Amino acid sequence: MRVALAQINTTVGDIWGNVEKAVEALERAVDAGAGIVAFPELTIPGYPPEDLLMRPSFIADNMKGLETLANEVPEGIVAAAGFVDLDADLYNACALISGGEILHRYHKRYLPNYGVFDENRYFREGAGASMLRLDGATVGVSVCEDIWYPGGPAREQALGGSGVLLNISASPYHRQKGAFRERMLSVRASDYGCYVVFCNLVGGQDELVFDGHSVVFDPEGKLVARARQFEEDLLLVDLYPEEVLIQRLHESRPRKENPERPPEVIEVPAYREELSEKSGRLRIEDLYPEEGEVFEALVLGLGDYFRKNGFSRAVLGLSGGIDSSLGAVIAAKALGPENVTGVLMPSRYTSEASNTDAAHLAENLGMETRVVPIGPAFDAYREMLAEEFEGLPENEAEENIQARIRGNIVMAFSNKFGWIVLSTGNKSEMSVGYSTLYGDMAGGFAVIKDVPKTLVYRVCRYVNESEGREVIPASILTKEPSAELRPGQRDVDSLPPYEVLDPILEAYIEEDKGVGGIVASGYDEEDVRRVIKLVDRAEYKRRQAPIGIKVTSRAFGRDRRMPMTNRYFERDPEEAVER
C-alpha cells in the first residue's frame, strides 16, 4: 500500500487556490504510484478559518471546492481531504474520495479549545469511527486532535481491525513541539500495533506557523518516514498491512478488549493495488536544532504573512542592537534583501559603534539603508514643551519622545512608499513593558514578539554558524544591551539580567507558576515579585502591539488572554496578615 502525504501550504479563504494546490499534489502522487493521498486538516477552506465560518456563502463555496477536488480523484485512488461539512450543524470534517465520488464524510470528534484553539466556537463534535476497506486491508481515518488522546477513534479503529491509522492535521508550531508530537505518535503506533500516518499542514497564518514535519511510524512505534520542516513536501511511503496482521497473531492483549461501537466500514471500489516500479522509499528528513527551528518558523511566518496579504516590501529601524539585527536577517531571508530597507535614526545618545554595527549588518545582508537623524525633531519637541516642562527633571518622557519620533519616521516611509513596518521588540521586553507605545512598538508586524531575549542571542549565533560567516557582526553579539535614550543607559539598570529575567517570565507566563513556585526554583523573591508586577501592569501595552509569530508554548494574544482591568496579585504572606 503506497501512501502519499501531501504536505501543502494552504491559505485561509483561498478556496480555489487551495483546491488547485491539492490537485497538483494529487497528480504528482498518482504519477508516483500512490493509492492513498492524504492532505492536511481543512484543506479546502484553510486553517483556521475563524469567523469566516459564520458566513453561509463561505461554507457553500467550501463545499463547491470539495466537489471540484473530488472530480479530479481517479478511480482506484483514495484521497483524504479536510473540509467544513454542514449537516444540520457545522463539522470539521475529512472527505474520503475515490473516482469522483465522496465515499464518506468523517466528522472530527475531539475539538480543541485551549491555547490558540477555539473550535467549540464553530463546530459540533462528531460521533463514531470510520475505516476504509481497500482490497482486504483496512485504514482508520481521523482528524488532528483525535489522535492526541489515548482511546477515541484510533483505539476503536485498531480494535476493529485497522492496520493503518491515517490522521490529517493542522498542528501549529512552537519550539520543541515537533519532538513531543513524534513521541506521542510513536506511543499510539506501538500501543495499537498499527502504522500511524500523520499528514500535517505547513505555512504561516497570521501569528501561527505550521511546521509540516509529517511522519509515519510502524506498528512497533519506530519512525520510518519524515517530511521536511517548514516547507511543502510530498512524502511517499510503502506500507505492508500484512505485517500488522502477523504482529496481531502474536499479541493477545487486543483480544481482551472490544470497541464500544464497531467502526463504520467504507468499501473502496476498484482500489488500485498494484504499485509502480518506483518504490516509495523511506525518506527521513533531518530536523533542525531548536534555534534553527525557531529561525525557520520566523522566516516562514513573516514570508507567508507578506505573500498571502499581497505585501512586497518591509522597512524597519536599524539600531545596531541585537533585536533589530535579527529582525533584519529574518526579513532579508523571508522577503529577499532587495525588499528590505533599514532606517538608521541616530540621536545625540547613539554611540558611533551602534551606527557602524548597523551599517555593517546591512552590508552583510545586501539590504538598502537610509539615515534620518532624529536630533532636529527632538530639539523641536524640547522647545515646544519647554514651558510645560520647566523646572522638571528629564525622565521617561524625553526618552519616549525619541522612540516615538523614530516610530513616526518609519511610519512615514510606510505611508509614502507602501512598505510594511516591522517592529523588533522581543518577548522579554514585551512581557515587562520595556517598550514605548507608538514608538518602538509601532508597526504592522512584530517579527520576534514571542522570542525571549536569551533565545534571540542563541538564534543569532545559530545564523552565523549555519552561514559559516559573521552575518551578524560579533560586536553586536557582545555589546551590553541598551536602548540608548539617555547617557550611559543599560537594560540592567531597569531590569534584572536577562539570564535571570527570562526563566522567571517563562515560569510565570507559560507555566502559570506563582511567587512561591518560582522562588522555590532558586530565584530571589524580590526579583520575582518585581517582574510579576511589571508583567501584570504591561497588559494594556501588549493589547496595542502588532501581531507576531508564536514560537513559545504560550504567546501573548490569542494564546494568553488576561484581563487588562485586573486587581488580582499574589500577596506577600506578611502583607496579607496585616490587612
Task: Tell me how far apart the alpha carbons of residues 306 and 330 are, in angstroms, rounded to a whole number.
Answer: 13
Indicate if 82 and 231 belong to the same structural domain: yes
pLDDT given at position 340: 98
In a domain, 278, yes or no: no
Identify which of 432, 436, 440, 476 has the alpha carbon closest to the alpha carbon of residue 456.
Answer: 476
Indicate if 255 and 352 belong to the same structural domain: no
Contact present, 457 and 322 (Cβ < 8 Å): yes
Q: Mean pLDDT by 10-residue block, N- to C-terminus, for the chain (579 residues)?
A: 96 97 97 95 96 95 97 94 96 96 95 90 92 87 94 90 95 94 96 95 96 96 96 96 71 64 81 57 90 98 97 95 96 97 92 92 96 95 93 91 94 96 95 91 95 97 96 92 76 87 94 93 93 93 93 89 81 56
Domain termination residue (choose one: 208, 235, 267): 267
Indicate if 263 and 335 belong to the same structural domain: no
Burial of 391 (0-12, 13-18, 19+ CB in 10 A): exposed
Identify which of 109, 105, 122 has the alpha carbon closest to the alpha carbon of residue 52.
Answer: 122
In angstroms, what CA-CA distances link 327 with 112, 175, 456, 518? 32, 18, 10, 31
* Catalytic residue annotation: 41, 108, 144
In a domain, 275, yes or no: no
Indicate if 304 and 192 belong to the same structural domain: no
In a domain, 470, yes or no: yes
pLDDT given at position 278: 53
360 sits in which H/E element = helix 352-365
pTM above 0.75, yes or no: yes
In a domain, 58, yes or no: yes
Indicate if 441 and 515 belong to the same structural domain: yes
In a domain, 411, yes or no: yes
Q: Quickly count helices (H) and strands (E) in the chain.
A: 18, 20
pLDDT given at position 417: 96
The CATH number for 310's domain is 3.40.50.620
In a domain, 282, yes or no: no
Indicate if 367 and 446 belong to the same structural domain: yes
Indicate if 313 and 258 belong to the same structural domain: no
In SS3 terms, 35-65 reads as CEEECCCCCCCCCCCHHHHHCHHHHHHHHHH
Indicate if 260 and 317 belong to the same structural domain: no
Domain termination residue (choose one: 267, 302, 337): 267
Indicate if 539 and 482 belong to the same structural domain: yes
Task: Tell me how far apart the alpha carbons of residues 317 and 185 are, in angstroms, rounded to a whole number.
Answer: 43
In a domain, 283, yes or no: no
pLDDT given at position 561: 82
pLDDT given at position 114: 86
Identify which of 203, 204, 180, 98 has the alpha carbon closest to the alpha carbon of residue 141.
Answer: 98
pLDDT given at position 272: 66
Indicate if 196 and 329 belong to the same structural domain: no
Identify which of 299, 356, 371 has the alpha carbon closest to the alpha carbon of residue 474.
Answer: 356
Boundaries of domain holding 574: 290-578
pLDDT given at position 115: 85
Indicate if 468 and 323 belong to the same structural domain: yes
The CATH number for 27's domain is 3.60.110.10
Domain termination residue (choose one: 200, 232, 267): 267
How many structural domains is the chain composed of? Answer: 2
Indicate if 250 and 330 belong to the same structural domain: no
In a domain, 285, yes or no: no
